[in-house]
Amino acid sequence: MCREAWSALLIADEGWGHAVRAGEVAAPFPTVGLDTLAVEAARLLAGRNLPGLIVVDGVGRPLTVLPGTQVLRMAVPAYCQDDPALARVIDEAEADLLLSGLEGRTVGQCLPEPPRELPVVDPDATVLEIAALMARTRSPLVAVVDEAGTMRGAVTLDALLDRMLGS
pLDDT tens-digit map of 89-100? 777 666 566 667
Asked whether 110 and 71 are in contact (CB, 8 A), the reply is yes
How confident is the model over 113-151, as pLDDT tens digits?
Answer: 777 789 999 999 999 999 999 999 989 999 999 999 999
Q: What is the pLDDT of residue 96?
A: 61
3-state secondary structure string across 47-86:
HHCCCEEEEECCCCCEEEEEEHHHHHHHHCCHHHHHCHHH
Residues 27-32 have a mean pLDDT of: 94
Tell me what the pLDDT averaged over the chain comes to. 82
Dihedral sign, Cα of residue 1, residue 128, residue 167, residue 117? positive
Is 3-165 in CATH node 3.50.50.60? no
Distance CA 160, CA 25 (A): 7
Q: Which residues of 43-54 are buried (b: 16+ CB within 10 A; e: fewer)?
A: ebbeeeebebbb
Residue 157: predicted pLDDT: 92
Select from 51, 65, 85 the least CA-distant residue to 142. 65
Instruction: Give me the mean pLDDT over the 148-161 stretch.
Output: 92
Q: Could you give the angle at which helices 157-165 and 127-137 cross, rounded to 10 degrees? A: 140
pTM (2 d.p.): 0.77
DSSP code of residue 134 = H
Residue 9, SS3 per DSSP: helix
Contact between residue 105 and residue 37 where contact means Cβ atoms under 8 Å apart: yes
pLDDT of residue 2: 46
Mean pLDDT of all residues in 58-64: 91
